Chain A
Amino acid sequence: GAVVSQHPSWVICKSGTSVKIECRSLDFQATTMFWYRQFPKQSLMLMATSNEGSKATYEQGVEKDKFLINHASLTLSTLTVTSAHPEDSSFYICSATRTGGMNTEAFFGQGTRLTVV
Protein backbone atom coordinates (compact mmCIF):
# COMPACT_ATOMS: atom_id res chain seq x y z
CA GLY A 1 0.00 0.00 0.00
CA ALA A 2 0.90 3.63 -0.25
CA VAL A 3 2.75 5.45 2.52
CA VAL A 4 1.67 8.67 4.15
CA SER A 5 4.06 10.18 6.66
CA GLN A 6 2.94 12.67 9.28
CA HIS A 7 5.30 14.69 11.43
CA PRO A 8 5.66 15.25 14.31
CA SER A 9 4.06 12.27 16.05
CA TRP A 10 3.55 14.28 19.18
CA VAL A 11 4.12 17.85 20.27
CA ILE A 12 3.72 19.82 23.47
CA CYS A 13 3.47 23.56 23.13
CA LYS A 14 2.71 26.55 25.28
CA SER A 15 -0.61 28.30 25.04
CA GLY A 16 -0.49 31.11 22.48
CA THR A 17 2.15 29.56 20.25
CA SER A 18 1.65 28.05 16.80
CA VAL A 19 2.31 24.49 15.75
CA LYS A 20 2.84 23.16 12.23
CA ILE A 21 2.03 19.56 11.31
CA GLU A 22 3.26 18.09 8.04
CA CYS A 23 1.64 15.38 5.97
CA ARG A 24 3.59 13.83 3.11
CA SER A 25 2.67 11.19 0.58
CA LEU A 26 5.97 9.35 0.13
CA ASP A 27 5.39 7.18 -2.92
CA PHE A 28 2.47 8.72 -4.75
CA GLN A 29 1.07 12.08 -5.73
CA ALA A 30 -1.93 13.25 -3.77
CA THR A 31 -4.14 15.84 -5.37
CA THR A 32 -6.35 15.81 -2.30
CA MET A 33 -5.50 15.41 1.36
CA PHE A 34 -7.84 15.40 4.32
CA TRP A 35 -7.28 16.60 7.86
CA TYR A 36 -9.16 14.96 10.72
CA ARG A 37 -9.36 15.58 14.43
CA GLN A 38 -10.06 12.85 16.93
CA PHE A 39 -11.03 13.28 20.57
CA PRO A 40 -10.45 10.44 23.05
CA LYS A 41 -12.70 7.45 22.43
CA GLN A 42 -14.44 9.19 19.55
CA SER A 43 -14.48 8.86 15.82
CA LEU A 44 -12.56 10.92 13.32
CA MET A 45 -14.08 14.28 12.50
CA LEU A 46 -13.23 15.82 9.16
CA MET A 47 -11.81 19.29 9.58
CA ALA A 48 -10.94 20.25 6.03
CA THR A 49 -10.19 19.05 2.54
CA SER A 50 -6.88 20.22 1.16
CA ASN A 51 -6.50 20.54 -2.60
CA GLU A 52 -3.13 21.08 -4.22
CA GLY A 53 -2.72 24.60 -5.48
CA SER A 54 -5.99 25.94 -4.14
CA LYS A 55 -7.59 26.97 -0.89
CA ALA A 56 -8.72 24.34 1.53
CA THR A 57 -12.39 23.60 2.06
CA TYR A 58 -13.29 23.71 5.72
CA GLU A 59 -16.10 21.85 7.41
CA GLN A 60 -18.77 23.77 9.21
CA GLY A 61 -17.62 24.93 12.61
CA VAL A 62 -13.89 24.72 11.86
CA GLU A 63 -12.13 28.07 12.16
CA LYS A 64 -10.05 28.54 9.04
CA ASP A 65 -8.01 31.32 10.64
CA LYS A 66 -7.05 29.06 13.51
CA PHE A 67 -6.34 25.94 11.45
CA LEU A 68 -4.31 27.09 8.46
CA ILE A 69 -3.92 24.53 5.71
CA ASN A 70 -1.44 24.76 2.88
CA HIS A 71 -1.13 22.21 0.09
CA ALA A 72 1.78 23.59 -1.87
CA SER A 73 2.77 20.45 -3.73
CA LEU A 74 1.34 17.10 -4.76
CA THR A 75 3.16 15.39 -1.90
CA LEU A 76 2.88 17.82 1.00
CA SER A 77 0.09 19.40 3.00
CA THR A 78 0.58 21.28 6.25
CA LEU A 79 -1.78 22.13 9.08
CA THR A 80 -0.82 25.02 11.32
CA VAL A 81 -2.65 25.45 14.58
CA THR A 82 -2.30 29.15 15.30
CA SER A 83 -2.35 30.68 18.76
CA ALA A 84 -3.00 27.27 20.27
CA HIS A 85 -5.03 26.93 23.44
CA PRO A 86 -5.61 23.92 25.72
CA GLU A 87 -8.92 23.17 24.01
CA ASP A 88 -6.98 22.58 20.78
CA SER A 89 -5.28 19.61 22.40
CA SER A 90 -6.27 16.59 20.37
CA PHE A 91 -5.12 13.89 17.97
CA TYR A 92 -4.81 15.19 14.40
CA ILE A 93 -4.62 12.79 11.47
CA CYS A 94 -4.11 13.41 7.79
CA SER A 95 -5.00 11.19 4.89
CA ALA A 96 -4.26 11.22 1.20
CA THR A 97 -5.78 9.66 -1.88
CA ARG A 98 -3.86 8.97 -5.03
CA THR A 99 -5.85 11.06 -7.45
CA GLY A 100 -8.40 12.97 -5.42
CA GLY A 101 -11.25 11.65 -7.51
CA MET A 102 -13.83 9.04 -6.67
CA ASN A 103 -13.14 5.32 -6.32
CA THR A 104 -9.83 5.86 -4.65
CA GLU A 105 -8.37 4.39 -1.50
CA ALA A 106 -7.39 6.66 1.39
CA PHE A 107 -4.13 6.18 3.29
CA PHE A 108 -3.49 7.70 6.69
CA GLY A 109 -0.54 9.25 8.43
CA GLN A 110 0.55 8.15 11.89
CA GLY A 111 -1.27 11.03 13.54
CA THR A 112 -0.01 13.88 15.70
CA ARG A 113 -0.91 14.15 19.36
CA LEU A 114 -0.98 17.83 20.27
CA THR A 115 -0.93 18.91 23.90
CA VAL A 116 -1.23 22.60 24.66
CA VAL A 117 -0.18 23.59 28.16
Chain B
Amino acid sequence: GESVGLHLPTLSVQEGDNSIINCAYSNSASDYFIWYKQESGKGPQFIIDIRSNMDKRQGQRVTVLLNKTVKHLSLQIAATQPGDSAVYFCADSSGGYQKVTFGTGTKLQVIP
Protein backbone atom coordinates (compact mmCIF):
# COMPACT_ATOMS: atom_id res chain seq x y z
CA GLY B 1 0.00 0.00 0.00
CA GLU B 2 0.99 3.68 -0.03
CA SER B 3 3.43 4.68 2.65
CA VAL B 4 5.58 7.50 3.90
CA GLY B 5 9.06 6.40 4.88
CA LEU B 6 12.45 7.69 5.96
CA HIS B 7 15.89 6.88 4.58
CA LEU B 8 17.85 6.83 7.85
CA PRO B 9 16.73 5.66 11.28
CA THR B 10 19.43 7.60 13.24
CA LEU B 11 21.34 10.78 12.46
CA SER B 12 24.18 12.12 14.60
CA VAL B 13 25.33 15.72 14.15
CA GLN B 14 27.73 18.02 15.92
CA GLU B 15 26.23 20.90 17.85
CA GLY B 16 26.24 23.98 15.65
CA ASP B 17 26.19 22.05 12.39
CA ASN B 18 23.21 21.91 10.07
CA SER B 19 21.02 18.79 10.06
CA ILE B 20 19.16 17.33 7.11
CA ILE B 21 16.48 14.73 7.67
CA ASN B 22 15.08 13.03 4.60
CA CYS B 23 11.75 11.44 3.81
CA ALA B 24 10.46 9.55 0.78
CA TYR B 25 6.76 9.25 0.09
CA SER B 26 5.04 6.96 -2.36
CA ASN B 27 1.53 8.35 -2.70
CA SER B 28 1.60 10.52 -5.80
CA ALA B 29 -1.71 12.06 -4.71
CA SER B 30 -0.22 13.45 -1.49
CA ASP B 31 -0.52 17.22 -1.47
CA TYR B 32 0.06 18.25 2.12
CA PHE B 33 3.19 17.38 4.09
CA ILE B 34 4.07 17.97 7.70
CA TRP B 35 7.09 17.49 9.95
CA TYR B 36 6.69 16.62 13.62
CA LYS B 37 9.20 16.45 16.46
CA GLN B 38 8.79 14.00 19.32
CA GLU B 39 10.83 14.41 22.47
CA SER B 40 11.22 11.56 24.90
CA GLY B 41 8.05 10.91 26.90
CA LYS B 42 5.95 13.40 24.96
CA GLY B 43 3.54 13.40 22.06
CA PRO B 44 4.70 14.66 18.64
CA GLN B 45 4.71 18.42 18.09
CA PHE B 46 4.16 20.23 14.81
CA ILE B 47 7.25 21.86 13.32
CA ILE B 48 6.38 23.00 9.82
CA ASP B 49 4.16 22.09 6.90
CA ILE B 50 4.18 22.55 3.15
CA ARG B 51 1.62 22.17 0.40
CA SER B 52 2.38 20.61 -2.94
CA ASN B 53 2.16 23.93 -4.78
CA MET B 54 5.37 25.00 -3.02
CA ASP B 55 8.97 23.75 -3.24
CA LYS B 56 10.32 25.34 -0.11
CA ARG B 57 9.09 26.81 3.11
CA GLN B 58 11.09 28.37 5.91
CA GLY B 59 10.42 28.69 9.59
CA GLN B 60 12.55 29.61 12.53
CA ARG B 61 15.84 27.71 11.98
CA VAL B 62 13.98 25.10 9.92
CA THR B 63 13.40 24.74 6.20
CA VAL B 64 11.31 22.12 4.44
CA LEU B 65 12.07 21.23 0.83
CA LEU B 66 9.67 19.33 -1.38
CA ASN B 67 10.68 17.59 -4.61
CA LYS B 68 7.52 16.22 -6.18
CA THR B 69 9.38 14.78 -9.15
CA VAL B 70 11.15 12.21 -7.00
CA LYS B 71 8.61 12.25 -4.18
CA HIS B 72 11.12 13.45 -1.62
CA LEU B 73 10.80 15.70 1.39
CA SER B 74 13.54 17.02 3.63
CA LEU B 75 13.78 18.97 6.85
CA GLN B 76 16.81 21.18 7.36
CA ILE B 77 17.68 22.44 10.82
CA ALA B 78 20.21 25.26 10.98
CA ALA B 79 22.79 25.48 13.77
CA THR B 80 21.58 22.32 15.49
CA GLN B 81 21.27 22.59 19.26
CA PRO B 82 21.08 19.95 22.02
CA GLY B 83 17.38 20.74 22.37
CA ASP B 84 16.87 19.52 18.82
CA SER B 85 17.62 15.95 19.90
CA ALA B 86 14.40 14.05 19.26
CA VAL B 87 12.66 11.74 16.82
CA TYR B 88 11.42 13.48 13.68
CA PHE B 89 8.48 12.24 11.66
CA CYS B 90 7.26 13.26 8.26
CA ALA B 91 3.56 12.86 7.53
CA ASP B 92 1.23 13.45 4.61
CA SER B 93 -2.35 13.68 3.52
CA SER B 94 -4.08 14.04 0.16
CA GLY B 95 -7.05 15.63 -1.55
CA GLY B 96 -8.25 17.62 1.44
CA TYR B 97 -8.88 14.32 3.19
CA GLN B 98 -8.46 14.48 6.94
CA LYS B 99 -6.45 11.27 7.32
CA VAL B 100 -2.76 11.83 8.13
CA THR B 101 -0.19 9.09 7.49
CA PHE B 102 3.12 9.12 9.36
CA GLY B 103 6.51 7.72 8.49
CA THR B 104 8.64 5.55 10.75
CA GLY B 105 10.75 8.40 12.18
CA THR B 106 14.41 9.46 12.34
CA LYS B 107 16.23 9.89 15.61
CA LEU B 108 18.42 12.98 15.68
CA GLN B 109 21.30 12.91 18.16
CA VAL B 110 23.18 16.14 18.77
CA ILE B 111 26.77 15.70 19.92
CA PRO B 112 27.91 18.52 22.25
Specify whether A and B are partners. Answer: no
